[in-house]
């Protein structure tokens, strides 16, 4: 009997792991860790599941950064993660721009499919964390549990409303990667996937008007 394929954890980069810069992360000096990320990846690593980065880096196609620079940023990022007790199995990036119509640029799920093929991953048993709707779409296309975080571009509340009104199973919203990690760990423990975390609900009860609260 073939060994059952394992699930994996897929993390978007900009806006999940590091600050999303409107002018893009073009050098290691511009790579700014978001709070709690190293601890979160260390906790996720303890699940024993493979962890992948999947990131759109059209700056390569646009000539804003050399491909080797992006690879160097990923090598340094992974070294820092490992020094903090975590691991990343591979950092996948799409170097293309929108007009190139590739299969890897999210919202297309090409990078997820590639990892599934290369590492024998069952995507339907996998988790994805992203700050953009295109991340969520990529996950939905291949059946991962998909978590939208409010860091980076996730501060756009339209996306949160969109997610919450879809009421699809295995979609959730969390404050940041630490909060998403709690969500993933509880789902791996056999709990039903939460749609929102207590931290997110508290944050929104404080920040939203009564009108907006009815969305939640
Ligand atoms: Mg992002
Ligand atoms: Zn691509």
Taking only the tens place, the pLDDT of each residue in 107-132 is: 999 999 999 999 999 999 999 999 99
Separation of 20 CA from ligand 1 center, angstroms?
7
Give residue-wise pLDDT tens across range 65-107: 999 999 999 999 999 999 999 999 999 999 999 999 999 999 9
CB atoms within 10 A of CB 99: 8
The verdict on residue 94 lying in a domain is: yes
The verdict on residue 118 lying in a domain is: yes
Q: Does 14 participate in catalysis according to the annotation?
A: yes
Q: Can you state the angle between helices 67-83 and 37-45, rounded to 10 degrees? A: 70
The verdict on residue 4 lying in a domain is: no
CB atoms within 10 A of CB 54: 26
The verdict on residue 63 lying in a domain is: yes
Closest among 143, 44, 150, 23 to 88, alpha carbons compared: 44
Give residue-wise pLDDT tens across range 15-28: 999 999 999 999 99
Q: Which ligand has the shortest distance to the CA of 106?
A: 2
* pLDDT for 213: 42
More confidently predicted of 147 and 208 = 147
Residue-number span of the structural domain to which 25 is assigned: 9-213
Q: Taking the model in full, what pTM does it have?
A: 0.92
Give the environment of ion ligand 2: residues with CB less than 5 A.
94, 96, 102, 104-105
The verdict on residue 1 lying in a domain is: no
Kindly report the length of the chain: 216
CATH at 173: 3.40.50.1000
Residue 212, pLDDT > 50, answer no
CA angle 74, 80, 85 (to 5 degrees): 125
Residue 162's pLDDT band, with cuts at 50, 70 and 90, is confident
The verdict on residue 40 lying in a domain is: yes
The total domain count for the chain is: 1
* CB 34 within 8 Å of CB 129: no
* pLDDT for 52: 98
The verdict on residue 154 lying in a domain is: yes
Separation of 57 CA from ligand 2 center, angstroms?
8
The verdict on residue 56 lying in a domain is: yes
Residue 208, pLDDT > 70, answer no
DSSP-based helix, strand, coil % in the chain, nearest 5: 45, 15, 40
Q: Does 135 participate in catalysis according to the annotation?
A: no
CA angle 61, 13, 56 (to 5 degrees): 25
């Amino acid at each position: 009997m073939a060994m059952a394929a394992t699930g994996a954890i897929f993390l978007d980069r900009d806006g999940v792991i590091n600050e999303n810069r409107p002018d893009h992360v073009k050098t290691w000096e511009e790579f700014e860790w978001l709070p709690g990320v190293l601890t979160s990846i260390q906790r996720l690593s303890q699940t024993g599941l493979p962890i992948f980065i999947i990131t759109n880096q059209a700056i390569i196609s646009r000539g804003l950064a050399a491909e080797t620079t992006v690879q160097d940023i990923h090598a340094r990022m992974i070294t820092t993660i490992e020094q903090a007790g975590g691991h990343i199995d591979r950092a996948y990036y799409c170097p293309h721009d929108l007009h190139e119509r590739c299969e890897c640029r999210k919202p297309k799920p090409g990078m997820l499919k590639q990892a599934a093929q290369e590492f024998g991953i069952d995507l339907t048993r996998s988790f994805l964390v992203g700050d953009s709707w295109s991340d969520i779409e990529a996950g939905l296309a291949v059946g991962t549990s998909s978590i939208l975080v409010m860091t980076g571009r996730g501060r756009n509340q339209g996306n949160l409303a969109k997610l919450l009104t879809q009421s699809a199973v295995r979609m959730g919203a969390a404050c940041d990667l630490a909060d998403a990690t709690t969500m993933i760990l509880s789902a791996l423990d056999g709990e039903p996937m939460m749609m929102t975390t207590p931290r997110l609900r508290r944050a929104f009860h404080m920040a939203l008007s009564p009108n907006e609260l009815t969305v939640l």
